[in-house]
Structures are given as structure tokens and as C-alpha cells.
Structure 1
């Protein structure tokens, strides 16, 4: 038993099958999926259960792959979010100063949308509403994991809540606690880090021309810029700048910031105007050296934090959560080594492929070497003109990769 010098409240004990540390976008999705599968769980979240308190329910505009929306629909979240979501009918990818492009069209691939855009705060609000409907989930928020002790058949977690300290014994500990995961460190899993020396600025902006449900991504020497379609003819702007320029960009007034975005994006949608409040995020890649440890597993950003190019972070994390929920459903012991090894093996191809894609794109598409220009343009033309390559690219872009969880294969309602 863990000892404590804190005498504010007595330590009490509880037994729960699954303990989730972290209630952000992926942790909350996992908790809901477990509840839908009839599995008792506890979710520990440092923030209070309100949209304004949860740091991951922020001003980013998420590009949700079709598979992701299928998965959110399967666990009952999407009905709470659909009114604020905007379908993506077309994706247009270019490189500044080069002639190649890649264009994906939903109708060409016989779907009504390639994906949807949704502000993270709106997805967070939908998750909170769905969490309120859960019957087998116990939520501790605000609460904080203070210590872990290995047991013969699991872990004992010491949780600090507003009422005092609580010990929870669990046969399966899930780290969904983000890039700087405390769980990852405590269970002995290392991580490889790569700082891209870039900063991401996000805000909303209004284009002169209707976005017509098109998503744009444009690469350049300084990094990518993207415009994502939103409701009310607005767009979500994602602008990447070198870290050395981040302070200067942050200090720009609205007119100067829009001028920079216009110069980087071009005039395809006419004049850009009316920027919303800007938020800046340093970009780094953090990859856990393993997904599992004895009776512990990592999901979402705790397992892998990737470059936002291609907008695959939450999409990948949700597939982690839904796969784990699927695999532990109906088993007597959710934390056996065999089950966790099978989980890691099943996630390997999707995880490694998505991470390699995001890292490779930012390295290749944004390198300034002039000799790469013709090669990049020819590669884009090949992607755009060869139907088998187009189909593969579209399928992966929609999130259907490498033995996905069954939930993402369900048809939308």
C-alpha cells in the first residue's frame, strides 16, 4: 500500500476493471466506447467536466476522417456534434511555386463526404453530452493521478480528488494523458522526440469566395498552410511558421496576419478577412517506444503525438481507443499480456504508417531544395492521374487503414 503524509481526508479504496487517466478527446472517446460495450471503467481527468476547462477542447478546427465520423456515430457521439460539422466534398493539395497538385473528390469515390470539419470545442461539448448518458462509467474530475504501484495482477493508482485521496486497483491502466504522459513515464515506457522548430497558428477566417466545402492544403518552404471549410462560409486557418518567426507573427495585428496568410495561401478563394482569435502551438513529434507495458496501454497523444500536417492526430488516436474497446469487450481479464500484445500488433501498421506519412510529408514537401520541385510535381501528378493510386490515397485519407476497428466500418445513420 502507498503511504501518504496527507491527512486532509482518509484514503478509501475501490476496484474497477479499467482505469483511464486522461479525459481529453481520445480518453473521453475510449470511456464512452467502453460504456457502450458494457464495460465498467473509471476516467480520471485533471480538468473540471466543462468545455472551457478542458485544454484539448480548444479553438483548433479538426478535420475528421470519414472513418472517424463512422466511429463517433457508432458510439453515440456524432448525433451531438453533427449540427456544427461541415462536410468536406473536395480536397486540394498544392506546393507553392510548383505545378503539381492532388485533388480528391467525394463524388468520384462514391461517398457523400471525404470527412467533416468540426471545432475541437464542439467535439468536446458533444463528448461531454454523451458522457452524461453513460451508465457504467465513473468520472473523477477534477482529479489527479499522484502515484502508481504495481500489483501482482494490475496497478494501484492513488488519485487526489476534491474529497481527498482514493486508491483504485485496476487490472488495466490506460494512459490517455497526452504528450507529456505521466502514465507513460511511470510504467517505464520511453519516448523518442523530434522538435520540428515550427509553430502552428490557428484561427477562423472569412474568404471572399464560397469555400464550396473544399479543404485546401498548401506546402511551402516555411511549412504547410491549410484552409478547412466551416459553417457560415467561414474557414479554419492553419498556418505554420518557423519557430524563430513565431514571436513576430504573434505580434502582428489582424491586418498584418491576414496579409501573411494571403501571401502564403494565394488568391484561390479571393481576399481573406475577419480573422478570429489566434492560438499558437509549438509542433513536436513524440513517439512512445512501446504501446504496452505489463497491464498498461497508451492511446492517443500519450502513444504518439504527430505533426498536424494531414490532420491525422485525433483520427489515429480514436482508432486506438475504438480498437482497444473492441478487444477488451467480453473478456474476463482486460489486462492480460496476450491481449495487450495482440492490441499492439494490430495497431502497429496503422500507427507506423500514419506517423511515417506525417513525418515524411513535412520533411519532403517543405524542403526548399530546388531540385526536388520537379520530382514533387511529378509525384503529385501521378497521385492525381492514376486511378489505383487515387483510390488508395482516398481510402487512407478517409481513415480506412490496416485492420481498423469494426466501429469505423459502420455506415453513417
Structure 2
């Protein structure tokens, strides 16, 4: 924990030390911008892997961005490439396939244990030279001032007062910063519950990912190291308790019925717990000398694995703009940030929402149209190229960092 003797005045205050907040802090430090990062929990690197740990699906653009800010070298050895994606709907004839080689890349994305990304971020944070880290710490209050914000922060060593020219809310779905700024959020309850588990397939996954939709909700299978796969299963909310009570054989039978047998029989399901799924979207991204990033700005349905990917593009876009500005909280800069993020943010949220609502809608008359749409994306090069590009995280005006090729 790094506690300076005096407040960092005129810089950037980041509230929230999760994946997006930490990435923003690193990107700003790499650009030579002074910042303070307020983290609720003390830094902790967990070096103990487990079979059923949580895994992340990282888009191509995300890997490029993490490489650009020096994080990816700490995590690359633990990542598994996704080289092929197969999308289908149960009981319908259409499907769409995306192959990395066909689009001139070695991988469409990578899967990585969340623990490994957290450890990589911590290692890179330790090398930062212009960053002040307060952890564990809690933001107690905010006071708006003409030149920025005054924050009172409770730490283990007592209260700290930080004056900042720019306040960044990276503090998650139920953002305290968003509430203090008076920014409302639109909420949608999908009436679904999410189960995440690790399984072992009978046949080799060969770096293939599968996504399948049905009336009961979407399900996905992601390639992992050592022949394992990450299973992401959604069920109607009213069935969550019943599914949670299933033994391993019952849970596998349910997953197999929803996913099919493309990788043969699944086995060894890890621990699983239900999570209610909601969509939360801030009605605006900025306030006076303040901005929201990551889940504080938007929380999307997890089946598309867009949450961190979208949030990292928030962070890298903001860092790019702040690095080129004299005043990090200038209204023109914040307007530019909101304008640049709009196409990516709105397009990604709309795609995620539409997939879940339309692909899982119990309407037999829609079946031929859904199948034809999947076939079109599979057979028509312009549509497939667009689908692949968006899936890899390239939409709108992305930050320059994500356009860099991997070394």
C-alpha cells in the first residue's frame, strides 16, 4: 500500500480497483499522468489454481490493449487461444462459424483464469511510478468544486483528502460515484440466472468455442487449458434453485441437453452458484469533471462475454484522451470521450440484448428467420467479416492501443 504524505492535487482520482479501474490506472501511468487509485480490498495475488476457478473470455482487441500497457506478458503463458467459434440455436437448422485463419489472425480471442489476469494487473501496478494506490480504502464523501472534486477517503491509517481535476467511477454495477453524480441508470431484469462451471469434455476442444441459444436461454462452452472447458449456462430465474440443487450427474445431463454432443460426453463439473442477470446502463457517461467506465457505465448480459472487453476499451479511450490534454477534466475532453464511446457502447449493448431477447424468444414463426440470419452470417463474407470484427472488439473509433498488433 502506497500512502503519500500529501494529497495528489490536479490529477485523476479512480474509484474502484477492479479489472477496469486497475487497467485505467496502468494506462495513465504509462502515459505519464499522475493518478490515485482507491481500492476497496488490499492487493492480493492468489497463486493457487483450482479446477473450477472463474474464467474470462478476452477479445482480440482486449489482448492488444493489455499488451500495449504491459499487462499481457504477465498473463500470456496461462491463456488459451480461441481459434474457432460456432453459433447455433437448438432445434433450428442455421448456424454461423467464425474461423481465425479465415480472418488473417492466429486467434479470435483468448480465455484466461480471472485470477491470472488479476495477478498480472497487480504485477504491472507494482511497476507504476506516478500512481498512488490506497488499499484497502473506502470513499466516504465527494464535494464538487469549480476546479474538480474533493474526496474524503477512509484508509487503515485514517482519513485522507484528495483533490482531483477528474473523478473516475470504476466502482461496479451499483456505483457509489454514479449515485453521487446524480446519474440515473436504466435497468432490465432478464429473469434469468447464470451458472458458471468448469467441465472436461470427452473429445478435445481443439480451441473451439460454442454458443447455443434456446427457449430456456443461452449456453456457451469455452476452451481452457489442460483439455478443460468453461461452461456458461443460463436458466429461467424460477428454475435457479432447482438447478442449484442438482447433483453433478443431474447438472451435466441438463447442460448436455442444452448444448448437444459436439465434444462428446461432458464430465467433472466444478462448483456452481446461480447469479441473477440484469442489464444496467447509465443514462449518461459524464458529469462535471467526472466520468464513468466499466460496469459503472454499463453492465451487459454475460453470455456474450463483453463486460470486461467493453470496459477496457472505456479505460484505454479515456487514458488516450487524458494523456493528450492539459486539463484531464475539461468539458470538451469529456464530451469527446462520450462521443467516441457511443458507437461501441451502444452497438455492443444492443447486440448483447438483441441476441438474448430474439435468439431465445419462444416464437416458432421466428425459427426460419433466425436460421436464415445465421446462414447469411456463415455464408456471406461481408456479414461474417462484420460479425468477426465486432466479436474481436473492433467497433466505432476504438482506442489506438487496441489496434496494435501482438508482437
TM-score range, shorter chain: over 0.9
Give the unaligned 5+ runs of structure 2.
Answer: 47-51
Match of 2:196 among 176, 197, 202: 202
The alignment of Structure 1 onto Structure 2 pairs a total of residues equal to 399
2: CA distance, partners of 1:190 / 1:403: 26
Q: In the TM superposition, what is the alpha-carbon distance from 1:311 to its structure 2 partner? A: 1.2
Deviations 1:203-260 (A, max 9, x none): 1100000000000000011111000000000000000011111111111111111111
- Moved segments of 4+, more than 3 Å: 11-14
Q: Is the 1:14–1:167 Cα contact (8 Å) retained in structure 2?
A: no
Partner of 1:411: 405
TM-score (norm 2): 0.96
Match of 2:205 among 188, 205, 211: 211
How far off is 1:61 after superposition?
1.8
In 1, Cα distance between the equivalents of 2:96 and 2:342? 27
Is 1:139 matched up with 2:133? yes
Structure 1: unaligned runs, 5 residues or longer: 1-10, 53-57
Is the 8 Å Cα contact of residues 232 and 303 (structure 2) preserved in structure 1?
no
Aligned-pair RMSD on alpha carbons? Answer: 1.4
Secondary structure of the corresponding residue to residue 108 of structure 1: helix
Does structure 1 retain, via aligned residues, the 8 Å contact 2:8–2:35? no
Does the 8 Å CA contact 1:12/1:165 hold for their aligned counterparts? Answer: no
Q: Give the conservation status (yes or no) of the 8 Å contact 2:188–2:280.
A: yes
Match of 1:342 in 2: 336
Q: 1:13 to 1:76 in 2, by over 3 A?
A: closer
The equivalent position to 1:25 in structure 2, one of 19, 27, 38, is: 19
For residues 252-281 of structure 1, the C-alpha deviation after alignment (integer angstroms, 9 at most, x for no partner) is 111111111111111110000011121332
Q: Which residues of 2 match residues 131-280 of structure 1 at below 5 A?
A: 131-280=125-274
| Pairing of 1:5-84 with structure 2 (within 5 A) | 13-51=7-45, 59-84=53-78
SS of the residue corresponding to residue 50 of structure 1 reads coil
| Separation (CA, whole Å) in 1 of partners of 2:294 and 2:53 | 19
Match of 1:325 in 2: 319
Q: TM-score, normalised by structure 1?
A: 0.95
Question: Cα distance 1:59–1:281, how it changes in 2: closer, same or farther (>3 A)?
Answer: farther
Deviation at 1:13, TM superposition (A): 4.5
Alpha-carbon distance, 1:282 to partner:
1.2
Distance 1:233 1:279 in 2: 23
CA contact (8 A) 1:16 1:41 kept: no
Summarize deviations over 1:28-52 as a string: whole Å, max 9, x none.
1000100111111110011111146
Q: 1:358-369 residue pairs with structure 2 within 5 A?
A: 358-369=352-363
